[in-house]
């Protein structure tokens, strides 16, 4: 078994038994997006590496140590997409979407790639549903995205989730705040955890949500950013909360909420199961990023968006016992035995399918009994049996697998009509032009 291939570390196969959940989530995501007026966009699986170095921020962990960056054979510096937002902004710029009605509302469902140590709900290749409203500075846009994110989970039947909301102000005021924060901690530096000593200069916001006992004690008296917002950011934050109340989306303000990406300003949020202590339990998160478009060389353009991980949604659905409907079983199972019967079976199955009846054929060479066992296990409504006798008469036996197993004989060219019985006539799937 050692020589066998396996999925690369941090990747997974989505097997047929998990597909119904995935399809349900994708459909729910698309439908929720539609209800809010978001249009789908697909961007490539790789982009110029510099897009993320600039956009995501070259001091973030994502860029510093998690990017699948490589040079292609022509020497282009590329990277597999670690997150969707910069890619969608790039598309907005590249296709002149500034001249579309603003804001431009876009969504995408795509694979993302980050080289990190795998854990439950954290893979190296994972799938995100991502929504962005580009070109709107208003608080209503923030609330709209949060509501969209929330309604998706609601639609999927997820319960016991919580919207945690915060604001990290605009760049200028935040700098001033960070200085005040550093001023609080500098005298205590020696007593901080080693991680936090590093964070002090680099990313002081992180000091506040550290889980280390030592850091928690020293947090006493540290200023919280949501309490010291600039006038504009405070008004914006209040307006977001008001709009959420109007929409009926419950939320709690989390003064310690911090997002890791450089480009966020003002509103940030995450949605996670209530009381789940797992580190990577948040299933969706987003924020406003008014400075990103400029960073990427575009005109100043306010924007807000979020991403949610499909793998994490699947985990949460399983945890909560939320199932998805299985795809319907085939309608008919065509069993056959004897010389020439295989040919008739292929033809019969083919005709049934042309009438919209899902038909599966039995394995040639297997006993009728084996084939009927298969038929039963497949969940098919009826078995069509073609043996030497039927073949000679140009007929087939139709056996009811749901009831007591009664059967009737029908001419081969009447099979579809007999089997269709009460079921609705098939819709045409295609049409010649």
Partner RNA sequence: GUGGGCGUAGCGUAGUGGUUAACGCGUCAGGUUGUGGCCCUGAAGAUCGAGGGUUCAAAUCCCUCCGUCCACCCCA
- Ranges within 157-216 binding RNA (CB under 7 A): 195, 199, 203, 206, 210-212
| Piece in contact with RNA (CB under 7 A), picked from 27-35, 172-180, 350-358, 364-372 | 364-372
**Subset of residues 377 to 396 that bind RNA, contact rule: CB under 7 A:** 377, 383, 385, 387-390
**Binding letters toward RNA, positions 103-122, x by CB under 7 A:** -----------x-xxxxxxx
402 binds RNA (CB under 7 A): yes
319 binds RNA (CB under 7 A): no
- Interface with RNA (CB under 7 A), residue from 76, 94, 160, 400: 400
Provide the sign of the torsion angle of the four alpha carbons 174, 176, 181, 185, taken in this order: positive
Cα separation values, 89 from 72, 121, 131, 260, 290, Å? 23, 26, 12, 19, 11
Query: Between 102 and 203, whose beta carbon lies closer to RNA?
Result: 203
Q: Using H for helix, E for strand and C for coil, what is the string for 203-239?
A: CCHHHHCCCCHHHHHHCCCCCCHHHCCCHHHHHHHHH
Query: Between 100 and 189, whose beta carbon lies closer to RNA?
Result: 189
Distance CA 303, CA 292 (A): 8
Query: Between 17 and 227, whose beta carbon lies closer to RNA?
Result: 17
- Pairing mode, if any, of strands 125-134 and 161-167? unpaired
Joined together, the tokens standing for residue 408 give 């009737």
Residue pair 222/205 in contact (Cβ under 8 Å)? The answer is: no
Q: How far is the CB of 357 from RNA (least distance, A)?
A: 18
Query: Between 92 and 269, whose beta carbon lies closer to RNA?
Result: 269
Distance CA 14, CA 24 (A): 14
Distance CA 359, CA 354 (A): 10
Residue pair 384/397 in contact (Cβ under 8 Å)? The answer is: yes
- Pairing mode, if any, of strands 284-288 and 303-309? antiparallel
376 binds RNA (CB under 7 A): yes
Q: How far is the CB of 114 from RNA (least distance, A)?
A: 6
- Interface with RNA (CB under 7 A), residue from 14, 176, 235, 370: 370
Beta-carbon neighbour count of residue 369 at 10 Å?
10
Query: Between 45 and 102, whose beta carbon lies closer to RNA?
Result: 45
**Subset of residues 299 to 318 that bind RNA, contact rule: CB under 7 A:** 307-309, 311-312
**Subset of residues 255 to 274 that bind RNA, contact rule: CB under 7 A:** 258-261, 270
375 binds RNA (CB under 7 A): yes
Residue pair 11/123 in contact (Cβ under 8 Å)? The answer is: yes
Q: How far is the CB of 161 from RNA (least distance, A)?
A: 12
Q: How far is the CB of 335 from RNA (least distance, A)?
A: 8
| Piece in contact with RNA (CB under 7 A), picked from 138-146, 150-158, 324-332, 400-408 | 400-408
339 binds RNA (CB under 7 A): no
Q: How far is the CB of 205 from RNA (least distance, A)?
A: 9
Q: How far is the CB of 433 from RNA (least distance, A)?
A: 43
Residue 147: helix, strand or coil by DSSP?
helix
**Subset of residues 45 to 84 that bind RNA, contact rule: CB under 7 A:** 60-62, 66, 83
Distance CA 31, CA 406 (A): 43
CA atoms within 13 A on the CB side of 264: 21
Beta-carbon neighbour count of residue 4 at 10 Å?
5
Q: Which residue has 């208003």 as its token pair?
A: 138
Q: How far is the CB of 126 from RNA (least distance, A)?
A: 4
**Binding letters toward RNA, positions 9-48, x by CB under 7 A:** xxx-------------------------------------
Burial of 75 (0-12, 13-18, 19+ CB in 10 A): exposed
Q: How far is the CB of 176 from RNA (least distance, A)?
A: 22
């Amino acid at each position: 078994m050692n020589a066998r291939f396996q999925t690369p570390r941090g990747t997974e196969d989505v097997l047929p038994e998990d597909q119904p959940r995935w399809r349900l989530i994708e459909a729910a995501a698309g439908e929720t997006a539609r209800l809010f007026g978001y249009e789908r966009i697909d961007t490539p699986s790789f982009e110029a590496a510099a897009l993320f170095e600039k956009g995501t921020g070259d001091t973030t962990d994502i860029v510093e140590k998690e990017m699948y960056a490589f040079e292609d054979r022509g020497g282009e510096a590329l990277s597999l997409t670690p997150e969707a937002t910069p890619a969608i902004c790039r598309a907005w710029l590249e296709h002149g979407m500034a001249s579309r009605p603003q804001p431009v509302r876009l969504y995408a469902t795509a694979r993302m790639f980050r080289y990190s140590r795998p854990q439950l709900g954290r893979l190296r290749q994972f799938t995100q549903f991502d929504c962005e409203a580009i070109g709107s500075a208003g608080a209503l846009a923030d609330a709209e995205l949060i509501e969209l994110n929330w309604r998706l989970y609601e639609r999927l039947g997820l319960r016991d989730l919580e919207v945690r909301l915060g604001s990290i102000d605009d760049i200028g005021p935040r700098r001033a705040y960070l200085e005040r924060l550093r001023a609080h901690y500098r005298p205590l530096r020696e007593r901080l955890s080693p991680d936090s000593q590093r964070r002090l200069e680099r990313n002081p916001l992180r000091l506040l949500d550290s889980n280390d006992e030592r850091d928690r004690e020293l947090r006493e008296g540290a200023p919280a950013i949501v309490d010291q917002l600039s006038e504009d950011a405070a008004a914006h934050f209040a307006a977001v909360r008001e709009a959420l109340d109007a929409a009926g989306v419950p939320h709690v303000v989390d003064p310690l909420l911090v997002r890791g990406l450089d480009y966020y300003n003002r509103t940030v949020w995450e949605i996670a199961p209530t009381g789940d202590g797992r580190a990577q339990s948040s299933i969706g998160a987003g924020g406003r990023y008014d400075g990103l478009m400029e960073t990427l060389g575009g005109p100043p353009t306010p924007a807000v968006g979020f991403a949610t991980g499909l793998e994490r949604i699947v985990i949460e659905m399983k945890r909560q016992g939320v199932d998805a409907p299985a795809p319907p079983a085939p309608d008919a199972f065509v069993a056959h035995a004897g010389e020439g019967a295989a040919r008739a079976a292929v033809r019969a199955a083919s005709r049934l399918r042309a009438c919209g009846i899902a038909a599966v054929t039995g394995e040639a060479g297997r006993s009728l009994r084996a084939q009927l066992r298969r038929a039963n296990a497949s969940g098919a409504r009826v078995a069509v049996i073609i043996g030497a006798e039927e073949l000679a008469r140009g007929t087939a036996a139709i056996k009811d697998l749901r009831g007591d197993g009664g059967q009737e004989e029908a001419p081969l060219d009447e099979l579809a009509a007999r089997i269709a019985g009460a079921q609705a006539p098939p819709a045409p799937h295609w049409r010649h032009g």
